[in-house]
Structure 1
């Protein structure tokens, strides 16, 4: 059994989970890309009966029988729930108290994977935002 906690960006919504993790996956589908404004989404599959939420959650029905939960205060995406998987709720791994602990074991819908992700290992990486160029005219 796994015990996890998480929250939205502002902390208005929190969650706790104690149970079996049913999936650890990275989804590259176009719906996840649009819903999260990112090239992929990392999910933890959880049993709803072992998941507890506090705070106000709003829902967007992105397709029939598919809900995406989010915090109305800060807009953080919290989870995906679909009638296709009635015994699971897919919580966004980035909402974990320590997202660095997340370890996906699968990638899905690879046909929609953003091609530019292949370039990431070959482009410069920085610990922070790049500095402004030196020189030039003052602003």
Structure 2
């Protein structure tokens, strides 16, 4: 059983964070921006209400890149790890990469989103729902 909190960090450890459980949701995102930002076929995001998220260390290393007119991606300026995503005008939640948690969270991934833009070189067999958009409000 997961603890009440799940901690995580970037590759070099300069940025450390902690999320209070329960999280809101966890999904695999196949959009082209996530793929490009992470150099991966898809990225698994965890939605954490801001009131349940704490940046423990590394605020001076945390940089934000405006990847679109609506959103920004947070990354470590030292090691380059992309950790966070946020909608600039939607403050209640922050999205954290599942791969950067050091401890288990309370929800497994529940769906694939923006699947209409998925790469052809990865075949999925997990039987999760596949959506061409985000099927719920962020």
TM range (shorter): 0.7 to 0.9
Question: In 2, distance between residues paired with 1:99 and 1:116?
Answer: 28
Question: CA RMSD for the aligned pairs?
Answer: 2.3
Say whether 1:44 aligns with 2:46: yes
Aligned residue in 2 for 1:64: 69
Question: In 2, distance between residues paired with 1:119 and 1:82?
Answer: 28
Question: In 2, distance between residues paired with 1:100 and 1:68?
Answer: 21
Shift of 1:97: 0.6
More helix by share: 1
Unaligned 5+ segments in structure 2 are 126-138
Q: Could you state the TM-score of these two structures normalised by the residue count of structure 1?
A: 0.77
Q: Could you state the TM-score of these two structures normalised by the residue count of structure 2?
A: 0.78
SS of residue in 2 equivalent to 1:88: strand
How many residue pairs match? The answer is 120
Change (3 A) 1:112 1:99: farther
Greater alpha carbon shift after TM alignment, 61-70 vs 95-104: 95-104
Aligned residue in 2 for 1:118: 123
Unaligned 5+ segments in structure 1 are 121-139
Answer yes or no: is the 8 Å Cα contact 1:22–1:44 preserved in 2. Answer: yes
Question: In 1, distance between residues paired with 2:78 and 2:107?
Answer: 25
SS of residue in 2 equivalent to 1:116: coil
Bigger relative CO (Cα 8 Å, ≥ 6 apart): 2
Question: In 2, distance between residues paired with 1:102 and 1:112?
Answer: 25
Return the match for 2:30 from 28, 31, 43.
Answer: 28
Shift of 1:99: 6.6
Greater alpha carbon shift after TM alignment, 6-15 vs 80-89: 80-89
